[in-house]
Structure 1
Amino acid sequence: MDHNVPPSHDRTADAAAGYTHDDPAVDDALDWFGRLRDGTPDPAVLDQFGQWLAQDPRHATEFRALEEMWGSSAFLKAVESLPPETVRAPVRRRQGWLMRVAAVAAVAALAAGIWHYPRMMADWRADYLTATGDRATVRLPDGSTMVLNTDSAVALDFDNGRREVSLLRGEAWFDVRHDPDHPFRVTGGFGRAEVKGTAFSLRREDGRDEVVLERGRVDVSCLCDGAGPVALHPGEAVTVPPAGPQAPVPASPDRLAWREGRVMFRDTRLGEVVSELSRYYDGTIIVAGDRISRIVVTGNYRLDRIEGAIRTLADAAGVRMTRLPGGVIILR
């Protein structure tokens, strides 16, 4: 079937703008979606749109997918995070809708990223930090070992016999050298883990910390007043929200797979998997629709090929992956 271009669509102009989608049906759907959202179309335009829909069943499928993506909470959140002048920036109509999508999502990720003020402050305080997708192994002054996960930052205080680590962002694993006279303490956003010799991890997220114990013993306390410490035993994990540590639970055996450069999931919703993979991807991933987010998946992926992992995950879940300029990935 011949590829029918919507009226006034300028492929040369699109290429000059930097992007045309490699699937003609998707490219036409993007163009029609932008045209119909620019204002109230006249009857002649609606008639042309109807003819385009009738040419191929995929046209209607791709157009509906765009409507679903446009209404997704992830996309709307990205738009809302931008300054008004960015969203209102003029873009030529025939080139515009796709580039607006890419620009909105990419700038939204940037606005929430490295130049955000609290993040800059954490980076200035940090003695060690990692970029998105990277890991680093550090030999600490007392002989202990620290492994930083993706996008993490720590500050150290080992003066005068102290063994203090502040996790400013992200996640770190520690293999602590035994020293009964000098406790080893790691402080997150809401909790503190104290040990004398053991191996454990601490992960800092919005609204909570999580400690996972691999071997030995860890006492986890809250930075708040009044909450007593919780003792962890090997194979247990504890979450620390602002109010204090919750009850310990068995840790997933895959929880520390990131140290081996892998991430694993068993019977997990796609939305949760994407949220985890996003930590390792230096771009923006949008899941279009709650139905897709609820798909249950199982997988074992390499972290050094994260975009390939996302594509494999999309294939396994039976959803379409579209990659836009600026590192924007849409699952729909």
Structure 2
Amino acid sequence: MSPRGPSPERFEAAAVWCLALAEGPLSDERQRAFDEWLAANPENLTAFERSTSLWQQMGEAAASPEFADVRERALATFRRRNQWRWARRPVAGRVITAAAAMLIALGGIGWWWQSAPEIYRTGVGERRVVMLDDGSRASLDAATEVDVRMHGDQRELHLVAGRAKFDVAKDPLKPFSVRVGDKLVVATGTSFSVEIVNRKLHVILYEGRVVVIDRPMGAELPAAVAPASGDVDEPMALTPGRELVVDIAGRSPSRLGKADPVRSLSWEGGQLVFEDEPLGLAVNRINRYSARRIVLKGATGQMRVNGVFNTGDVEAFATGVEETLPVHVIRERDVVTITPQ
């Protein structure tokens, strides 16, 4: 699939909301409308976050005196086209408003669209390999989304869903970071995978060295993630052959343990290898590859499953589970339900 993100229409709507918010507090009615717009589609929130970020980056240049005239003329045109969307109020001197006008003067939504991060997605059952601008390679598992921004001395990625393996082009002066929620995985040149499954972050290191830190959006000072003791000698160090599991919500301690590189990368070859895997995790991963979903009922999620399965072969997985665990399997056309016996 080609890299895409929210549509230009969503970015335009986001621009309108950013400008309205820059003018001052919204009325109760407008606030409800804004909240409803954000909740209507996840891509609305994505477009709004990117628009505010881009405007803030443009703010200083847009507020300079030499752009004052073009800023005011562009803003006036923008207001006329969108006057039904917000109440008119004076906005002179607002840096964020100046940035909005500069965006319009420099080509409007088309320029904005080109400046947004590249977004790579795979659908259910789809895998792909992406070569990034810096020479790094990203291998995306099924049902995965990665946002990529390469600019200046930074290489920033955001794993929104799924799993990806990164083979990072070495450049010590440009750290390569992958964000998942408030967690940041930072490397300079290495090979590692990052996965979101059952509200947990799984980081496996294959080569080199990475650091996993807590860094909420906007925080100035990061803090290293402190895993609980695992079956390794140095629980604080994520070195090759180790896996760090972090509760994204922070409700349980992080765990550091050994990882099997061959088994953990079997998905790149079209297979899933489970070795004493909790059934809940196995099902979550199986469901990335087929529109026919598996649903667990009752206390089945912590049962352990073993075996090698082709990705997308829901029937073979269901049969294997049925033959080895004390469960009952109900097969329907679109759903396979697994319940305790």
- Checking the alignment, whether the CA contact within 8 Å between 1:153 and 1:169 is kept in structure 2 is yes
Q: CA deviation at 1:174?
A: 0.2
Cα distance in 2 between the residues matched to 1:299 and 1:218: 30
1:118 aligns with one of 4, 22, 42: 42
2:239 aligns with one of 221, 225, 233: 233
- Checking the alignment, whether the CA contact within 8 Å between 1:142 and 1:177 is kept in structure 2 is yes
Cα distance in 2 between the residues matched to 1:161 and 1:214: 25
2:141 aligns with one of 127, 145, 149: 149
Cα distance in 2 between the residues matched to 1:284 and 1:311: 14
1:311 aligns with one of 307, 310, 319: 319
Q: 1:121 to 1:321 in 2, by over 3 A?
A: farther
- Checking the alignment, whether the CA contact within 8 Å between 2:241 and 2:259 is kept in structure 1 is yes
Letter of the 2:318 counterpart: I
Question: For 1:193-226, what per-residue CA distance to the aligned partner results, in whole angstroms no more than 9, with x for missing partners?
Answer: 1111100011124543221101110011112466
- Checking the alignment, whether the CA contact within 8 Å between 1:222 and 1:245 is kept in structure 2 is no
Q: CA deviation at 1:265?
A: 1.4
Q: CA deviation at 1:256?
A: 2.6
Q: CA deviation at 1:319?
A: 4.6
2:163 aligns with one of 167, 171, 186: 171
Matches within 5 A, 1:198-237: 198-205=190-197, 207-224=199-216, 227-228=223-224, 231-237=237-243
Cα distance in 2 between the residues matched to 1:247 and 1:267: 17
Q: 1:155 to 1:271 in 2, by over 3 A?
A: closer
- Checking the alignment, whether the CA contact within 8 Å between 1:128 and 1:153 is kept in structure 2 is yes
Letter of the 1:220 counterpart: V
Cα distance in 2 between the residues matched to 1:312 and 1:263: 13
Question: Is the partner of 1:273 in helix, strand or coil?
Answer: helix
What is aligned with 2:179?
Answer: 187
For normalisation by structure 2, the TM-score amounts to 0.55
Q: CA deviation at 1:272?
A: 4.0
Matches within 5 A, 1:16-55: none
| Larger displacement relative to structure 2 (144-153 or 306-315) | 306-315
Cα distance in 2 between the residues matched to 1:146 and 1:121: 25
Cα distance in 2 between the residues matched to 1:320 and 1:287: 10
- Checking the alignment, whether the CA contact within 8 Å between 1:189 and 1:204 is kept in structure 2 is no
Cα distance in 2 between the residues matched to 1:249 and 1:298: 19
Q: 1:267 to 1:203 in 2, by over 3 A?
A: closer
In the alignment, is residue 251 of structure 1 matched against residue 259 of structure 2?
yes
Question: For 1:234-291, what per-residue CA distance to the aligned partner results, in whole angstroms no more than 9, with x for missing partners?
Answer: 011212334498353222442232122211112334444323322333233233443x
Q: 1:270 to 1:181 in 2, by over 3 A?
A: closer
Report runs of 4+ in structure 1 exceeding 6 Å deviation: none
- Checking the alignment, whether the CA contact within 8 Å between 1:130 and 1:148 is kept in structure 2 is yes
The answer for unaligned runs of 5 or more in structure 1 is 1-114
- Checking the alignment, whether the CA contact within 8 Å between 1:122 and 1:169 is kept in structure 2 is no
Aligned length: 216
For normalisation by structure 1, the TM-score amounts to 0.56
Letter of the 1:324 counterpart: E
Letter of the 1:298 counterpart: N
Letter of the 1:216 counterpart: G
Question: Is the partner of 1:308 in helix, strand or coil?
Answer: helix
Question: Is the partner of 1:249 in helix, strand or coil?
Answer: strand
What is aligned with 2:83?
Answer: none
- Checking the alignment, whether the CA contact within 8 Å between 1:220 and 1:231 is kept in structure 2 is no
What is aligned with 2:331?
Answer: 323
The one of the two structures with greater contact order (alpha-carbon pairs below 8 A, sep at least 6) is 1
Letter of the 2:224 counterpart: G
Letter of the 2:322 counterpart: A
Question: For 1:145-200, what per-residue CA distance to the aligned partner results, in whole angstroms no more than 9, with x for missing partners?
Answer: 10111111111111234311111211111001111121111111131111111000
Cα distance in 2 between the residues matched to 1:130 and 1:239: 24
